[in-house]
Homo-oligomer: A and B are copies of this chain.
Amino acid sequence: MQDGNGLDHLAGERAMAQFDLQAMKVYLAGGQREYEISTKMAQLVANDPVFSKEDRVRLARKDLYKNSLRKAGHAWKTILEKGLSEVEGLKLRHFVDEPTYTDLHWGMFIPAIKGQGTEEQQHKWLPLAYKMAIIGCYAQTELGHGSNVQGLETTATFDPTTDEFIMHSPTVTSTKWWPGGLGKASTHALVYARLITDKKDHGIHAFIAPIRSLEDHTPLPNVTVGDIGVKFGNGGYNTMDNGFLRFDHVRIPRENMLMRLATVTKDGKYVRSNKPRQLGYGAMVFVRQGIVIDASIYLSRAVTIAVRYSAVRRQFGNKDEPGELQVIQYRTQQSRLFPLLATAYAYRAVGFWMKSLYADVMKRLNDNDFSTLPEVHACTAGLKSITTSVTADGIEECRKLCGGHGFLCASGLPELYAAYVPACTYEGDNTILLLQVARFLLKTLSQVSKVRPVGTAAYLGNIKQLSTQNCKVSQGHDWLNTSVLLEAFEARSARQAAAVALRLAKGSGSEAEFQENTPELVESARAHCQLILVSKFIEQLQTGTPEGIRKQLEVLCYTYAFSQLIDNAGDFLATGYVTGNQIALAKEELKHMFDKIRPNAVALVDAFDHTDDYLGSALGRYDGDVYTHLYKGAFKESLNDTVVVDGYEEYLKPVLTQNLWAPHSKL
């Protein structure tokens, strides 16, 4: 119940829960150990005032950035002082919760050296990087080229007379543009450039270029470097110094080219190594697994805020009951909110599965077995694309579900969106990734009679059967069967892929024909990925889920699958696999799932275990005390420093007194 100030402790909500909250927390954390580390690190950050996010949206860029440097340094100090493990350190930085230069240093610079450097190079650079005696960034994208890495224009021309490369930015479009940490923090950049020896262009290779003095941090001679400017949102990604970089014939030693896969010799000969290029795939799977888990985390933050607030917020009555209804009672609210709750759970499960996929890939790479790589590449590319797009849209949807108050930064949601949404663009533009999935599907189908599809594409081996048998659901509860659901997603995906493959097969196989069909190809790739998501969520449930949470996870799994089915009903219907009536039955089943979620909703978001500090939201507070905190929060706004606003004398008074032309007016 609400008190006079709208305070509603949500205790009533929590009392309704029908599952083992603690078991769910451990499940979502990925295990007991992970749960304990997370809890410890979250508390450590929450209790340390240096990490406060309070003022973030109010700071001017310079102060925002400076404070971010302060936090990054303090995090590093904390890690060293407390002797935190690598996993703990990562978690700590995760909870500090703002993009900063160390993300790229640890997440891109170091892994690139590990993946592309020779052992000698690793021995030289990694110790420096590990103790942060150098700070590195990942400088691939240029003003003119992002997605098409092969089109990069920066050159690295070998000069055998001095045994050096000459790094150069020949055009405006060749300016490096976007690398995080480059703008103001990094001392070194991992630069992708065209390797030229003896006037021959060998394509794109990686080089370590020192860019700032280790003495005084000034840019090195002939290096032009800076920050590219303000990005979406107040705080958001603006804590990061995404940068630009131009070289004017800057010389670096020959050894600074990363030479694991190819070497330039002292006399300028270009030699490819015999190391299999596929070794890099392991890292890629690892990164994408992290992206899917991150999607789940970001989405779960937005969902936590929206669910708690929807339980506090009351609006309109209901003839049948006294008082106003919590907006979470409204079916329209549920039908937008609960599928997102289920999605956050689904992505968590799929992320866990990807962990095992990663282990499998690493094992195979060790055994020189590259057979599953195309499938793994397509699968993880597609999952990156879908989960980041859905999460970005889902955060905004949660914000809108909070009505007007969601538009305030105090809700925590605007910044969450601004910080998250570039995930749709970096690590591969989401459309381009789906086109890669589509190419894989086409290839798989073209060989299906000869090569048995593996892993997440195995169902395509069944294409004949999937193309002919239609859905057998005749009553609502027929849908409550995971095999029925799986077959529906398989049939729909197989049929969409087959339809576009058939059209292409009729043609000449030109690139232009492929282009012509890309909208359908993208749709087909999406269908394939949605199948993977549904099937892996189901699979995860069926393997050893603790008793105390199994039922809730099942409800969430059905909720996820039904809402995917309904949101994509056009595809399912167009392939002829389901009928309009079967879709209508699924809609009813989905509502039954909403009824099952409803009493557990608050507890299901509690299970994500986000601290109030991490959420940074007046609407999403654990204690439900929304209104007092919104109100108190307003007094921190700088405009409220004085009761009469700065600007009144110059710009308001002349208007009010019709004195616009008086000499004192500065208008």
Contacts and interface: CB of A to CB of B under 8 A. Distances in A.
A404 interface: yes
Contacts of A429: 403
Nearest to A67: B647
| Interface residue tally on A, bucketed by range | 35 or more
B217 A133 contact: no
B171 A5 contact: yes
Contacts of A172: 4-6, 627-628, 631
A203 interface: no
Given A234-B233, A638-B60, A69 B627 contact: no
A591 interface: yes
Contact of A403 (B57, B146, B657): B146
A216 interface: yes
Contact of A6 (B143, B335, B644): B143
B587 A580 contact: no
A330 to B, nearest CB: 7
B69 A232 contact: no
A218 interface: yes
A315 B145 contact: yes
Given A315-B148, A331-B519, A143 B511 contact: no
A69 B74 CA distance: 40
Contacts of A319: 510-511
A655 B574 contact: no
Interface string A640-667: 1101111110111111111011000011
Interface in A181-238: 183-185, 187, 214, 216-219, 226-234, 237
A198 B318 CA distance: 28
B580 A403 contact: no
Contacts of A74: 667
Interface in A518-551: 518-520, 522
A300 to B, nearest CB: 21
A637 B403 contact: no
A358 interface: no
Interface stretch (A28-36, A265-273, A417-425, A480-488): A417-425
A580 B591 contact: no
A570 interface: yes
